[in-house]
């Protein structure tokens, strides 16, 4: 009986403890239900404006298009395919693969591979069978030759007004899922008058289509179920159009090809703005310089220092940094490949294995430094490729470390390589320090220099990597440079007149110019981007399919072999 009372007591205590746990429930209050935000039905509005150069759309300005940038990933410098064919641009946009796969490289779409690489509408239908896709094209060839797997596919014989009205009517349909529209009047005006915002007819065509965009966006926002829908709006152009740029606008890269200059807008009211600016391609470098060139002593333009050359000796253990800016010009064969012509050095023959000395030189498409001892052989260390006709900053550092001597090379501030040179001893030979032509160039047509050289800097110190990187692309040596007091020679070589390159240091060892020289104006890029493919830094037509599939939460199958990428940004809300 006593055991029963104890058992009853224990059960009562436990029950009391259990009831106490429910006292910790959240108090009743109103909470905001955010699940409906992520549960909204994803939909797409996809508009293509043929022939609309991105920079022209920006410069007009097209106000309705530009207003989308407040909630968009966007760029005025996206790039279409380099063959600049409208049919190829359409295929890139609608298949998500490049011409090497879809095979659309002719205006008549012949010999294509669209059966293997179809319009991405097919992938949507395979994953979401009931998803409504409607396509309205001003161009008949687009709708008839390319678009497939759409519930509606109508064309309008080049009538943009009719195309706009059809899109507006489609947006009144509750089941609209992906609405595609294409306008052609901007391309028509560009072909007839020119593709620049300064041309009245082209500008008027852009503004007219911009008006369509405003009307279409208003209709989209007035949809009965708009608050329960999640729309991605894509507006882009398939190609740009030809236009002559000024020298200040042309950086010599694909970004300065008006035919492939397009614009891309990925808009959602949930997007934070993400402006994809024109990628950095280098600093603009201007002034006057002398072109150093020549095959023989009789026709060469070169420069040297005879008086006071001893101050520039490298010796056996001197720590020295030699830097300069150079722009390779094309060889007589039309390329930038050279066979070891001297840029600067004291080795007055290209038979290095017979001579003591050093020479910073061009090596095929790159550059490097040769060094050697008479009778003991020579060696070389090679820097980076500079075969693009733009200004590059080259730096060679001779330094001592752990009782050894090394040479380190940098191109545009980027470290290239290091090599030990201890066993080669003293490189001094009593010869002048020479810019450009030296005897021996006649051995090969590519062994003579054809280049412009400026900003030659000679330090009696081994500059640290961090200092080289910080000051490498400056137009001129700043007075704040931490190693300015170590300079034993500084020749801007942009004097603009006279027969010498004046030394700006206290040593005043001027380079004397020889031959029929002249001072020429230049306006070029310096330290260009090292990106191997600038196109990868901005949107391309093949990206659109991936962006849309991602929005619809359709994972891209590797079998589709899509070439594009997905661009991302932050969201204003979940």
**pLDDT score for 365:** 87
The pLDDT tens digits of the residues spanning 334-358 come to: 777 777 888 999 886 656 556 788 9
Q: What pLDDT does 349 receive?
A: 66
Q: Which of 475, 322, 288, 319 is nearest to 395 (CA)?
A: 322
- Report pLDDT digits (tens) over 413-430: 999 999 999 988 888 888
- The predicted-structure confidence for 536-546, as pLDDT tens digits, reads as follows 889 999 999 99
Closest CA to 131 of 544, 554, 562, 545: 554
Return the beta strands (E) in 294-337 as ranges: 302-305, 320-328
Q: For residue 71, is pLDDT > 80? A: yes
Share of the chain above pLDDT 70, in %: 88
Q: Inform me whether the pLDDT recorded for 29 exceeds 50.
A: no
* pLDDT of 570 strictly over 60: yes
Note the pLDDT of residue 352: 54
Expressed in angstroms, the distance from the first to the final Cα of the chain is: 63
Q: Could you tell me which of 147, 124, 125 has the C-alpha nearest to residue 135?
A: 147
Pairing of strands 519-526, 320-328: unpaired
Per-residue confidence band for 549, with pLDDT thresholds at 50, 70 and 90 = very high
Least-confidence region, from 30-39, 187-196, 203-212: 30-39
Q: How much is the pLDDT for 23?
A: 33
Q: How confident is the model at residue 399 (pLDDT cuts 50, 70, 90)?
A: very high
Residue 512, pLDDT above cutoff 90: yes
Give the pLDDT score at 108: 95
pLDDT of residue 205: 98
Confidence of residue 279 (pLDDT cuts 50, 70, 90): confident
Confidence of residue 367 (pLDDT cuts 50, 70, 90): very high
Closest among 268, 37, 39, 41 to 175, alpha carbons compared: 41
SS3 state at 532: coil
The more confident residue out of 449 and 168 is 168
5 confidence band (pLDDT: 50, 70, 90): very low
Q: Is the pLDDT of residue 8 over 50?
A: no
Per-residue pLDDT, 158: 96
Compute the average pLDDT of residues 113-135.
97
At 77 the pLDDT is: 94
Report the C-alpha gap between 321 and 398 in whole angstroms: 6
Q: Which domains does the chain have, with CATH numbers?
A: 39-281+532-560 (3.40.720.10), 290-523 (2.60.120.200)
Decide: 357 and 372 in contact? Cβ < 8 Å.
Answer: yes
Q: Lowest-pLDDT range, 288-302, 364-378, 538-552?
A: 364-378
Look at residue 246 in the predicted model and tell me its pLDDT.
Answer: 82
446, pLDDT greater than 80: no
User: Does the pLDDT of residue 565 top 80, yes or no?
Assistant: yes
Kindly state the average pLDDT of the residues 77-90.
94
Q: Are 293 and 450 in contact (CB under 8 A)?
A: yes
**Position 405 pLDDT exceeds 80:** yes
What mean pLDDT, rounded, does the chain reach? 87
- Span 67-88, mean pLDDT? 95
pLDDT of residue 573: 62
What percent of the chain clears pLDDT 90, i.e. is strictly above it? Answer: 67
């Amino acid at each position: 009986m006593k055991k029963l009372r104890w058992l009853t007591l224990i059960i009562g205590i436990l029950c009391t403890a259990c009831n106490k746990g429910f006292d910790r429930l959240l108090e009743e209050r109103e909470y905001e239900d955010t699940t409906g935000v992520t549960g909204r039905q994803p939909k797409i509005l996809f508009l293509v404006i043929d022939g609309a150069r991105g920079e022209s759309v920006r410069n007009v300005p097209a106000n309705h298009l530009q207003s989308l940038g407040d909630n968009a990933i966007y760029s005025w410098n996206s790039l279409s395919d380099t063959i600049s064919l409208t049919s190829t641009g359409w295929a890139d946009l609608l298949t998500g693969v490049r011409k090497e796969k879809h095979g659309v490289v002719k205006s008549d779409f012949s010999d294509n591979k669209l059966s293997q690489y179809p319009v991405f509408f097919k992938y949507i239908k395979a994953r979401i069978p009931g998803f409504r896709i409607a396509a309205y094209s001003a161009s008949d060839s687009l709708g008839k030759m390319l678009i497939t797997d759409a519930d509606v596919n109508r064309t309008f014989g080049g009538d943009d007004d009719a195309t706009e009205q059809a899109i507006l009517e489609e947006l009144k349909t509750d089941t609209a899922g992906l609405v595609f529209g294409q306008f052609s009047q901007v391309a028509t005006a560009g072909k007839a008058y020119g593709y620049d915002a300064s041309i009245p007819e082209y500008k008027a065509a852009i503004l007219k289509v911009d008006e369509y965009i405003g009307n279409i966006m208003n209709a989209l926002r007035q949809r009965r179920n708009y608050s329960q829908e999640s729309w991605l709006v894509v507006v882009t152009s398939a190609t740009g159009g030809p236009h002559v740029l000024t020298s200040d606008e042309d950086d010599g890269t694909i970004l300065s090809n008006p035919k492939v200059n397009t614009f891309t807008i990925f808009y959602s009211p949930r997007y934070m703005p993400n402006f994809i600016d024109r990628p950095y391609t280098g600093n603009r470098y201007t002034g006057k310089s002398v072109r150093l060139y020549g095959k023989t002593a009789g026709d060469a333009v070169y420069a040297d220092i005879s008086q006071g050359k001893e101050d520039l000796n490298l010796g056996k253990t001197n720590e020295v940094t030699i830097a300069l800016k150079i722009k390779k010009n094309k060889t007589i064969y039309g390329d930038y490949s050279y066979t070891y012509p001297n840029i600067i050095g004291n080795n007055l023959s290209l038979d290095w294995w017979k001579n003591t000395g050093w020479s910073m030189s061009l090596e095929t498409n790159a550059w490097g430094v040769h060094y050697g001892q008479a009778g003991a052989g020579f060696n070389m260390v090679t820097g980076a490729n500079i075969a693009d006709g733009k200004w590059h900053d080259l730096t060679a550092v001779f330094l001592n470390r752990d009782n050894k001597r090394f040479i380190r090379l940098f191109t545009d501030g980027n470290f290239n390589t290091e090599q030990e040179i201890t066993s080669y001893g003293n490189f001094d030979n009593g010869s002048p320090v020479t810019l450009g032509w030296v005897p021996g160039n006649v051995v090969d047509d590519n062994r003579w220099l054809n280049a412009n050289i400026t900003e030659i800097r000679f330090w009696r110190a081994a500059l640290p990597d961090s200092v080289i990187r910080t000051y490498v692309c400056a137009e001129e040596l700043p007075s704040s440079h931490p190693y300015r007091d170590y300079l034993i020679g500084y020749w801007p070589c942009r004097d603009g007149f006279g027969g010498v390159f004046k030394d700006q240091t206290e040593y005043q060892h001027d380079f004397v110019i020889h031959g029929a020289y002249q001072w020429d104006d230049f306006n070029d890029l310096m330290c260009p981007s090292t990106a191997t493919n600038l196109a990868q830094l901005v949107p391309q037509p093949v990206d659109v399919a991936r962006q849309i599939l991602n929005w619809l939460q359709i994972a891209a199958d590797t079998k589709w072999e899509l070439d594009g990428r997905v661009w991302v940004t932050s969201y204003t809300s979940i």
